[in-house]
A and B are shown apart, each in its own frame.
Chain A
Amino acid sequence: MASELDIFVGNTTLIDEDVYRLWLDGYSVSDAVALRVRSGILEQTGATAAVLQSDTMDHYRTFQMLERLLHAPPKLLHQLIFQIPPSRQALLIERYYAFDEAFVREVLGKKLSKGTKKDLDDISTKTGITLKSCRRQFDNFKRVFKVVEEMRGSLVDNIQQHFLLSDRLARDYAAIVFFANNRFETGKKKLQYLSFGDFAFCAELMIQNWTLGAVGEAPTDPDPQADDMDMDLDKEFLQDLKELKVLVADKDLLDLHKSLVCTALRGKLGVFSEMEANFKNLSRGLVNVAAKLTHNKDVRDLFVDLVEKFVEPCRSDHWPLNDVRLFLNQYSASVHSLDGFRHQALWDRYMGTLRGCLLRLCHD
């Protein structure tokens, strides 16, 4: 006696949160049933396995029908087919767009292309996340990217408006989109210790300060479509960064800078002698990173460079985080006292962001 057809349709669409999670995690119906059985639901409710099977099928079917709408969340709000209370709608959307930390670390900064999509089975094997779930997460990234790619205005606001995500999740997506667009390298071995949160933090600072939209005024460019405001780094700014080179190229300036920093920090730093010995190297590293950012390739390697040139030296000398903070503050501030240096504003725009990023990157 096989059930040919077995459906349940409520005037208010029933959403079972547990089944939704299983569905999102990419389990097949039979796996989901097995997992539900293991959760002890049969004992709690006195239901049979057949009932559970039918219930799970039903929910899966509903989710499949909803998935099309979830691809464009505003549609979910305006559609008439499923009557779902607003709180449930919000839950559906938020959970659908949630992602796994392990997964996002794998694809962060990669081009959201078909090529990457092909690698998803490797990622699935590596992370233990089902391929189905990997695909959903990847497609979510790509979809958000496609939608906001051409848009002007705040990245976070655009994402929020078109995908109705919570503020937190929208910020995360902004970081993902920003990384994908600029193709920052995050997969190198020496970057493995960094979490998605670390990168998202840096991304937010960079979006706020280094993009065209960050300038805060309407672009004077006659063709306003030329640049995406929040997604692309401000090319002019990157170009200008070359000017900072004088800080290390001019030996007098470098010495002056060092003495200013050392004077200010003497006795305040646990690792003063190491700092003093390393100052020129560190300063050269930071300034050279800036000067190189005109090349796309070097932009991609930004985080590799930062870790190599700054984080690792500090780590090998066991700088405490507080010392790093004091040093970076002083290092940035002292430049204002260098009379021969004319690019104070540029320096602040660069260092202000970099200081925040470096502090976040300095951990084990």
Chain B
Amino acid sequence: MPGKLKVKIVAGRHLPVMDRASDLTDAFVEVKFGNTTFKTDVYLKSLNPQWNSEWFKFEVDDEDLQDEPLQITVLDHDTYSANDAIGKVYIDIDPLLYSEAATVISGWFPIYDTIHGIRGEINVVVKVDLFNDLNRFRQSSCGIKFFCTTSIPKCYRAVIIHGFVEELVVNEDPEYQWIDRIRTPRASNEARQRLISLMSGELQRKIGLKVLEMRGNAVVGYLQCFDLEGESGLVVRAIGTACTLDKLSSPAAFLPACNSPSKEMKEIPFNEDPNPNTHSSGPSTPLKNQTYSFSPSKSYSRQSSSSDTDLSLTPKTGMGSGSAGKEGGPFKALLRQQTQSALEQREFPFFTLTAFPPGFLVHVGGVVSARSVKLLDRIHNPDEPETRDAWWAEIRQEIKSHAKALGCHAVVGYSESTSICEEVCILSASGTAAVLNPRFLQDGTVEGCLEQRLEENLPAGCGFCHIPYDELNMPFPAHLTYCYNCRKQKVPDVLFTTIDLPMDAAVIGKGCLIQARLCRLKKKAQAEANATAISNLLPFMEYEVHTQLMNKLKLKGMNALFGLRIQISVGENMLMGLASATGVYLAALPTPGGIQIAGKTPNDGSYEQHISHMQKKINDTIAKNKELYEINPPEICEEIIGSPIPEPRQRSRLLRSQSESSDEVTELDLSHGKKDAFVLEIDDTDAMEDVHSLLTDVPPPSGFYSCNTEIMPGINNWTSEIQMFTSVRVIRLSSLNLTNQALNKNFNDLCENLLKSLYFKLRSMIPCCLCHVNFTVSLPEDELIQVTVTAVAITFDKNQALQTTKTHAEKSLQRASTDNEELLQFPLELCSDSLPSHPFPPAKEHLESASSNSGIPAAQRATSVDYSSFADRCSSWIELIKLKAQTIRRGSIKTTVTVEKASPVGEGNFRNRSSPPCANSTVGVVKMTPLSFIPGAKITKYLGIINMFFIRETTSLREEGGVSGFLHAFIAEVFAMVRAHVAALGGNAVVSYIMKQCVFMENPNKNQAQCLINVSGDAVVFVRESELEVVSTQQPAATCQPSCTGGEVTT
């Protein structure tokens, strides 16, 4: 009996009217866990019932604690007929099961009904008492921490990164059970929600057991998906990376860690630190005389072998398993051996991480991916999900062999996905082949000498670009050059990866979002014929997507892609491919050549003219893009003052490369450099169209940048304003006899228009960057294309782009001063009115001093810490004042009561962990972001994983505002429920938020629609940097100079 779950139902509010006669409701609550149910009393005639129940106690196994959700149902009591359900709340109590996370769940939860949406709120308190588990043969895995974040979470240190964990569970989909014909849609939806919740819990527990076996204590980069296979069942599967994490416990411990380029620094990945010292002096990665031999290459190639219903795509087929380097000597061999042994123990040396502790990633080979087309059949025995397991095992095996072919032992940035249409399913997996440093892979015993030597010599910022494969035995044709950074190793001309840009990578200019979009018509077919047709199309699609990516990359004047994600979706009569990645110019790789157009019918004069015209247009575009993204090849870069890459290390590198300049100059002549130029032959309309589509991509309006990685290369002065959003568009293709071209154009327009709309909507945030732009495409019906985008817009400070070495304190001052400017429109009104006198005068004073300070650089640095904290406080006063200004404008003397109540209190509400935000009436702000960090803030605690699944259905679509109204309301409700759960855990943000599924089905004729949404993320507590600084200055251990804390701002 290892756990006691205690639940208290406090109150409800804003309940719907359930009794038309009295316009009131007689509500009571059922609390269910497992098979035990408790009920509260009926609270008569109220829309705001106060149950204030006793503590309901459930004595349960910890296995159940992990699997089962707590189910709270609010009902309306009816004396004569059956009680009407108002709605439900499912609470995942997993966060209460491990010690460092939340201790209590307490707060207002939206009461959710799958037919009516949110109907009021209920205040609940949940606690768990865990007893020590003495059973050695236990099935539970309480205590394993789960993180969606695909890097080592901020307040932890990775001791060992164990590796890949995966699991899947299957079940019948309640929607397709016979009973569904006789039960209500509500009952069916609830059965589904509950089942998926149960399966998620079970899955998490099983993965936890595997982690325990590996002696880990956490799963990072946990990604759980479900496949709705229709008739054949429901699959919930998850992958993740098992780790042993150490908490950087006290705030004092982690503060200095970030502030000095000490050893700990390395273990906090992803702190993109603008402080150059860290990089230049700090030890970092790869070996100096590393000669893994091997050779460079392009990261990508494909070959396919297809069998009847089963096709595998091989991005890489070479045999080039790494032969040992000649110059490497014993040391390298040793390293290699260790790495290998560490990795080869594992079935799949995969890592779902996309960002790594410094030193972890040694070389990157390129993208590896595999796809396979399967026919779904009924899952006969849910307890033996062997078929699905076998399918995935097959694909993983293929990925592994691709990685080997690239001379790599491991795959990082690994992910899996599916696309299902009727009984055909495409399974896809992709990742980045890489060579890893064994230091993190096993227990410390081996580390000793190795580590030291590792850290001696480091070609910083370019090591990962060096080819891991054999130069003489390349798996595919590629163009190799010596690294432009260290001049010692070979690098490929282009690099594609699925990971985030390593933080120490030397990059020139800014990055940008690059997308390849593609549609292919397919004949409608059944079963095997259909699968074969799809299998036959896949290689062509992959090839075209790749070509598009390559062309667009060159058009941008860049040479590497990060965060590459290729999605192939299958529909009844077409296939769609959407690839998104962030293009950058890696300093280590050669300058990309231009794009040359060649016609095949050279006789026609006007045709030639046309071609040369196109050529000119392309060259102009490349030149324009280079300017836009500030890509200045090294030679020029020297002269450009204020290039956004301020690291001295890089400058010195640039100096070195100057000697080579004579070589390079010719390469700048884009169209004529024959060695690198990419030749496009336009001998048919298809190719013409390709060229056109290249040129139709419009760059974002000025002040906007976009990327699909966590951080935007070249921008590191984020301010704290963030706006996460989801946008969904569905278009209906107009005619039935569509051509591939028309389809492509439609799809392209859809994506481009969507981006344009986003830029327009977010124009008030300029200058800003859309980060982690995540497009998903699906084909819900015959002529429908659905595109869903989730991203976060983050503002940054333009003025500071040139002054990255500035202290954080100064940054916050500037922020305060911009606030001040915004306020300037009010001052008259403010002065003439009787404001509460105490906060105002000091605020004004400090603002003045703050704004005057911001212009003065170094001189005032010493005092700046104090100022910044003031500035921050001022800005909260400003908020208050702003509110007043609004009302004052209408000439009032008093301020409304509520406005005062609602002001900054809300924000501060959750900062104080000791006071749970439960009965408080003000709604606290909960931030949501797909990134693993919050700009301008420090994450101090991870409260647990949020993994929620909702179904919403309507039979009155028109009345709810049509499909747009329906989905808009539903997504807003999903956000609200996520925020409420986070707030109840005591958190104030969700990081690594992802909407994994948004399945929308409509039947306008029947006035019906249904939507399923699955979201996840990590609930966290964050503290604003400015507040943190107050703490840090109080710390006597003053290793932290304010100038160093600057590093945190940008993370």
Q: Let me know if B750 is at the binding interface, CB within 8 A.
A: yes
Q: Contact at B890–A168, with CB atoms within 8 Å?
A: yes
Q: Contact at B976–A168, with CB atoms within 8 Å?
A: no
> Do A77 and B922 form a contact, CB below 8 Å, given A5-B967, A11-B724, A51-B757?
yes
Q: Contact at A81–B921, with CB atoms within 8 Å?
A: no
Rounded to whole angstroms, the CA-CA distance of A11 and B722 in the bound complex is 9
9 extra interface residue pairs, beta carbon distance < 8 Å, beyond A80-B121, A167-B892: A3-B731, A9-B727, A11-B723, A55-B761, A78-B13, A81-B972, A87-B886, A160-B897, A166-B887
Rounded to whole angstroms, the CA-CA distance of A50 and B901 in the bound complex is 41
Q: Contact at B971–A7, with CB atoms within 8 Å?
A: yes
8 Å CB interface, B703-756 against A: 723-734, 746, 749-750, 753, 756
Q: Contact at B898–A87, with CB atoms within 8 Å?
A: no
Q: Could you tell me the distance in whole angstroms from the C-beta of B923 to the nearest C-beta in chain A?
A: 6
Nearest residue in A to B734 (C-beta to C-beta)? A1
What residues on A are CB-neighbors of B14 within 8 Å?
75, 78-79
Q: Let me know if B926 is at the binding interface, CB within 8 A.
A: yes
> Do A167 and B894 form a contact, CB below 8 Å, given A6-B729, A10-B723, A55-B760?
yes
Rounded to whole angstroms, the CA-CA distance of A13 and B761 in the bound complex is 11
Interface centre among A12, A81, A167 (most CB of B within 10 A): A81
Q: Could you tell me the distance in whole angstroms from the C-beta of B53 to the nearest C-beta in chain A?
A: 22
What residues on B are CB-neighbors of A277 within 8 Å?
none
Nearest residue in A to B881 (C-beta to C-beta)? A87
What residues on B are CB-neighbors of A54 within 8 Å?
757
Q: Let me know if A57 is at the binding interface, CB within 8 A.
A: yes
Rounded to whole angstroms, the CA-CA distance of A168 and B883 in the bound complex is 15
Q: Let me know if B676 is at the binding interface, CB within 8 A.
A: no
Q: Let me know if A147 is at the binding interface, CB within 8 A.
A: no
Nearest residue in B to A82 (C-beta to C-beta)? B972
Q: Contact at A4–B732, with CB atoms within 8 Å?
A: yes
Q: Let me know if A74 is at the binding interface, CB within 8 A.
A: yes
8 Å CB contact of A81 from B118, B746, B925, B961: B118
> Do A77 and B898 form a contact, CB below 8 Å, given A11-B725, A45-B701?
yes
Q: Let me know if B906 is at the binding interface, CB within 8 A.
A: yes
What residues on B are CB-neighbors of A10 within 8 Å?
723-725
Q: Rank and list the top 5 A-B pairs by shortest CB-CB distance, nearest first.
A: A167-B892, A166-B887, A86-B902, A5-B730, A10-B725
Q: Let me know if B798 is at the binding interface, CB within 8 A.
A: no
Rounded to whole angstroms, the CA-CA distance of A81 and B975 in the bound complex is 7
Q: Contact at A90–B701, with CB atoms within 8 Å?
A: no
Rounded to whole angstroms, the CA-CA distance of A227 and B338 in the bound complex is 91
Nearest residue in B to A65 (C-beta to C-beta)? B969
Beta-carbon contacts of B869-901 to A below 8 Å, as 1s and 0s? 000000000010011001100111111111101
Q: Could you tell me the distance in whole angstroms from the C-beta of B665 to the nearest C-beta in chain A?
A: 36
What residues on A are CB-neighbors of B961 within 8 Å?
61, 64
Beta-carbon contacts of A41-82 to B below 8 Å, as 1s and 0s? 000011110111011011001101100000001110111111
8 Å CB contact of B749 from A1, A45, A57, A94: A1
Rounded to whole angstroms, the CA-CA distance of A159 and B996 in the bound complex is 46
What residues on A are CB-neighbors of B731 within 8 Å?
1-4
Q: Contact at A9–B972, with CB atoms within 8 Å?
A: yes
Rounded to whole angstroms, the CA-CA distance of A8 and B728 in the bound complex is 7
Q: Let me know if A359 is at the binding interface, CB within 8 A.
A: no
Q: Contact at B902–A77, with CB atoms within 8 Å?
A: yes
Q: Contact at A80–B110, with CB atoms within 8 Å?
A: yes
Q: Let me know if A337 is at the binding interface, CB within 8 A.
A: no
Q: Contact at A46–B972, with CB atoms within 8 Å?
A: no
Q: Contact at B923–A78, with CB atoms within 8 Å?
A: yes
Q: Contact at A166–B890, with CB atoms within 8 Å?
A: yes
Rounded to whole angstroms, the CA-CA distance of A306 and B711 in the bound complex is 73
Nearest residue in A to B980 (C-beta to C-beta)? A80
8 Å CB contact of A80 from B108, B756, B894, B965: B108
> Do A86 and B903 form a contact, CB below 8 Å, given A80-B108, A167-B894?
yes
Rounded to whole angstroms, the CA-CA distance of A74 and B902 in the bound complex is 11
Nearest residue in B to A9 (C-beta to C-beta)? B971
Q: Contact at B963–A4, with CB atoms within 8 Å?
A: yes
Q: Contact at A80–B979, with CB atoms within 8 Å?
A: yes
Rounded to whole angstroms, the CA-CA distance of A14 and B765 in the bound complex is 11
Task: Tell me the number of A-to-B contacts counted with CB atoms below 8 Å.
Answer: 182
Q: Could you tell me the distance in whole angstroms from the C-beta of B363 to the nearest C-beta in chain A?
A: 38
Rounded to whole angstroms, the CA-CA distance of A170 and B753 in the bound complex is 44
Rounded to whole angstroms, the CA-CA distance of A51 and B758 in the bound complex is 9
Rounded to whole angstroms, the CA-CA distance of A7 and B1013 in the bound complex is 15
Q: Let me know if B927 is at the binding interface, CB within 8 A.
A: yes
Interface centre among B726, B784, B1000 (most CB of A within 10 A): B726
What residues on B are CB-neighbors of A28 within 8 Å?
none
List 9 contacting pairs A-B, 8 Å CB cutoff, sorted by A: A4-B731, A4-B784, A9-B968, A11-B975, A45-B760, A47-B756, A80-B118, A82-B972, A160-B896
Q: Let me know if A353 is at the binding interface, CB within 8 A.
A: no
Beta-carbon contacts of A1-40 to B below 8 Å, as 1s and 0s? 1111111111111100000000000000000000000000
> Do A166 and B963 form a contact, CB below 8 Å, given A9-B968, A51-B753, A51-B760?
no
8 Å CB contact of A5 from B728, B879, B972: B728
Q: Contact at B896–A90, with CB atoms within 8 Å?
A: yes
Q: Contact at B964–A7, with CB atoms within 8 Å?
A: yes
Beta-carbon contacts of B475-488 to A below 8 Å, as 1s and 0s? 00000000000000
What residues on B are CB-neighbors of A168 within 8 Å?
887, 890-892
Q: Contact at B896–A7, with CB atoms within 8 Å?
A: no
What residues on A are CB-neighbors of B758 within 8 Å?
8
Q: Let me know if A158 is at the binding interface, CB within 8 A.
A: no
Q: Let me know if B763 is at the binding interface, CB within 8 A.
A: yes
Q: Contact at A57–B964, with CB atoms within 8 Å?
A: yes
What residues on A are CB-neighbors of B964 within 8 Å?
5-7, 57, 61
Q: Contact at A89–B784, with CB atoms within 8 Å?
A: no
What residues on A are CB-neighbors of B883 within 8 Å?
86-87, 90
Interface centre among A48, A52, A80 (most CB of B within 10 A): A80
Rounded to whole angstroms, the CA-CA distance of A51 and B121 in the bound complex is 36
Q: Could you tell me the distance in whole angstroms from the C-beta of B845 to the nearest C-beta in chain A?
A: 23
8 Å CB interface, B79-131 against A: 108, 110, 118, 121
What residues on A are CB-neighbors of B108 within 8 Å?
80
What residues on B are CB-neighbors of A112 within 8 Å?
none
Q: Let me know if B973 is at the binding interface, CB within 8 A.
A: yes
Beta-carbon contacts of B915-952 to A below 8 Å, as 1s and 0s? 00000011101111000000000000000000000000
Q: Contact at B896–A164, with CB atoms within 8 Å?
A: yes
Beta-carbon contacts of A75-104 to B below 8 Å, as 1s and 0s? 101111111011101110010000000000
What residues on B are CB-neighbors of A8 within 8 Å?
725-727, 757-758, 761
What residues on B are CB-neighbors of A7 within 8 Å?
727-729, 964, 967-968, 971
What residues on B are CB-neighbors of A166 within 8 Å?
886-887, 890, 892, 895-896
Rounded to whole angstroms, the CA-CA distance of A68 and B968 in the bound complex is 16
Q: Let me know if A169 is at the binding interface, CB within 8 A.
A: yes
Q: Let me know if A278 is at the binding interface, CB within 8 A.
A: no
Q: Let me know if A254 is at the binding interface, CB within 8 A.
A: no
Nearest residue in B to A46 (C-beta to C-beta)? B701
Q: Contact at A86–B723, with CB atoms within 8 Å?
A: no
Q: Let me know if A207 is at the binding interface, CB within 8 A.
A: no
Q: Contact at B968–A65, with CB atoms within 8 Å?
A: yes
Rounded to whole angstroms, the CA-CA distance of A169 and B893 in the bound complex is 12
Rounded to whole angstroms, the CA-CA distance of A45 and B786 in the bound complex is 27
Rounded to whole angstroms, the CA-CA distance of A364 and B579 in the bound complex is 72
Rounded to whole angstroms, the CA-CA distance of A168 and B892 in the bound complex is 5
Q: Contact at A74–B110, with CB atoms within 8 Å?
A: no
Rounded to whole angstroms, the CA-CA distance of A260 and B971 in the bound complex is 77
Nearest residue in B to A91 (C-beta to C-beta)? B886
Q: Let me know if A116 is at the binding interface, CB within 8 A.
A: no
Rounded to whole angstroms, the CA-CA distance of A45 and B764 in the bound complex is 11
Q: Contact at B882–A87, with CB atoms within 8 Å?
A: yes
What residues on B are CB-neighbors of A51 within 8 Å?
753, 756-757, 760
Nearest residue in A to B121 (C-beta to C-beta)? A80
8 Å CB interface, B320-336 against A: none
Q: Contact at B899–A164, with CB atoms within 8 Å?
A: yes
> Do A9 and B725 form a contact, CB below 8 Å, given A83-B975, A86-B883, A87-B882?
yes
Q: Let me know if A165 is at the binding interface, CB within 8 A.
A: yes
Q: Contact at A2–B921, with CB atoms within 8 Å?
A: no
